[in-house]
């Protein structure tokens, strides 16, 4: 036995938007035994699998457009206007679990677009949230995912810059400053969720306090990738795992202090399972 001393970060786990979506899904699953969900309800394969075993049916846009007379859950990431139009045409009852922070951002982007101002979004092209955000601009908004991508764009004289809610605050301001050095006027709208951004400093402190950090997250989670990088910077002995099967005994030596933390899309039950596995080593 390695006799590891293991703690879980109490601030890790689902954000309120994900909690709300999953509670809504579970309520309907309890009532009717199944429920369609447009895309993964959360970017965590283990949690998706748990809900699928309870009757959640993950569907894509093609399947969604063929459905009629059904209930469909909209996850916390939000959806573009076309999703609501399809629901009206096909008599689909939408169970709308869009995060209020995302809905507010969608409305702000639509107002800017309606004012005929160029809309730029710092986010991941193709990400579920970004699809909904671009939809507010008839898909005309320009999206870039990093400082390096931004440098390849030719900007007009004035732009309005928004951000996907789960991106890095420091990177957003770095991008704003870089664009302004080219002479472009940037109207920055800091639309990063504070439940996400406030976790940066908390995680830095947590990660620095342990010999090894196990960061638990789905591989598709943008928030997970960003927060993992924060932990890795604070503690180079940080390992990314998506399931207990990813843990390796050779990472550890006896009596080390191990910290477990995760993304806003990581369920607490999964971090508890990681802790149990480590305790058995």
In a shared domain, residues 222 and 159: no
Q: State which of 151, 175, 192 marks the end of a domain.
A: 192
Q: Which of 29-33, 42-46, 152-156 has the lowest mean pLDDT?
A: 152-156
Q: Count the domains in the chain.
A: 3
Beta bridge partners of 254: none
In a shared domain, residues 254 and 233: yes
In a shared domain, residues 213 and 136: no
pLDDT digits over 125-137, tens only? 999 999 999 999 9
In a shared domain, residues 93 and 113: no
- The CATH code of the domain that includes 255 is 3.40.1010.20
> Angle formed by the axes of helices 199-208 and 222-234, to 10°?
40
- Average pLDDT value for the chain: 95
Contacts of 31 (CB under 8 A, 6+ apart): none
pLDDT digits over 78-134, tens only? 999 999 999 999 999 999 999 999 999 999 999 999 999 999 999 999 999 999 999
Q: State which of 52, 71, 98 marks the end of a domain.
A: 98
Confidence of residue 9 (pLDDT cuts 50, 70, 90): very high
How far apart, in whole angstroms, are the C-alpha atoms of residue 157 and residue 258? 50
Confidence of residue 49 (pLDDT cuts 50, 70, 90): very high
In a shared domain, residues 171 and 209: no
In a shared domain, residues 181 and 212: no
**In this predicted structure, what is the pLDDT of residue 220?**
86
In a shared domain, residues 225 and 252: yes
In a shared domain, residues 111 and 157: yes
| Annotation marks residue 202 as catalytic | no
DSSP string for residues in 223-234: HHHHHHHHHHHH
In a shared domain, residues 160 and 232: no
pLDDT digits over 164-199, tens only? 998 888 899 999 999 999 999 999 999 998 877 788
Residue range(s) defining the domain that contains residue 216: 5-13+196-279
Confidence of residue 154 (pLDDT cuts 50, 70, 90): confident
Catalytic residue chosen out of the listed positions 23, 46, 115, 129: 129
The angle at the Cα of 197, spanning 195 to 200, to the nearest 5 degrees, equals 115
pLDDT digits over 202-249, tens only? 899 999 999 999 999 999 888 899 899 999 999 999 999 999 999 999
In a shared domain, residues 202 and 273: yes
- The CATH code of the domain that includes 78 is 3.40.50.11270
Q: Mean pLDDT, to the nearest integer, of 3-27?
A: 94
In a shared domain, residues 184 and 211: no
Q: State which of 79, 98, 117 marks the end of a domain.
A: 98
217, 197 in Cβ contact below 8 A? no
């Amino acid at each position: 036995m390695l006799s590891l001393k293991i703690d879980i970060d109490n601030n890790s786990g689902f954000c309120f938007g994900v909690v709300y979506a999953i509670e809504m899904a579970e309520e309907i699953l309890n009532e009717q035994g199944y429920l369609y969900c447009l895309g993964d309800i959360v970017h965590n394969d283990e949690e998706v699998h748990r809900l699928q075993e309870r009757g959640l049916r993950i569907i894509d846009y093609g399947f969604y457009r063929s459905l009629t007379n059904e209930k469909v859950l909209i996850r916390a990431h939000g959806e573009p206007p076309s999703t609501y139009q399809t629901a009206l045409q096909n008599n689909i009852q939408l169970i709308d679990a869009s995060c209020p922070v995302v809905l507010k951002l969608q409305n702000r982007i639509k107002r800017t677009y309606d004012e005929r101002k160029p809309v730029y979004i710092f986010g991941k092209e193709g990400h579920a949230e970004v699809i909904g955000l671009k939809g507010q601009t008839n898909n005309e908004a320009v999206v870039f995912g990093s400082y390096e991508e931004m440098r390849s764009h030719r900007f007009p004289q004035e732009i309005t810059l928004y951000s996907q809610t789960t991106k890095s605050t420091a990177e957003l301001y770095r991008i704003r400053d870089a664009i302004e050095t080219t002479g472009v006027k940037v109207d920055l709208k800091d639309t990063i969720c504070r439940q996400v951004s406030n976790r940066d400093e908390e995680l830095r402190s947590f990660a620095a306090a342990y010999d090894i950090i196990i960061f638990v997250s789905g591989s598709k989670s943008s928030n997970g990738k960003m927060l993992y990088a924060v932990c890795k910077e604070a503690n180079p002995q940080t390992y990314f795992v998506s399931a207990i099967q990813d843990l390796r005994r050779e990472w550890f030596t006896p009596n080390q202090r191990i910290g477990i933390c995760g993304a806003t899309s990581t369920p607490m039950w999964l971090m508890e399972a990681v802790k149990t596995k480590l305790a058995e080593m």
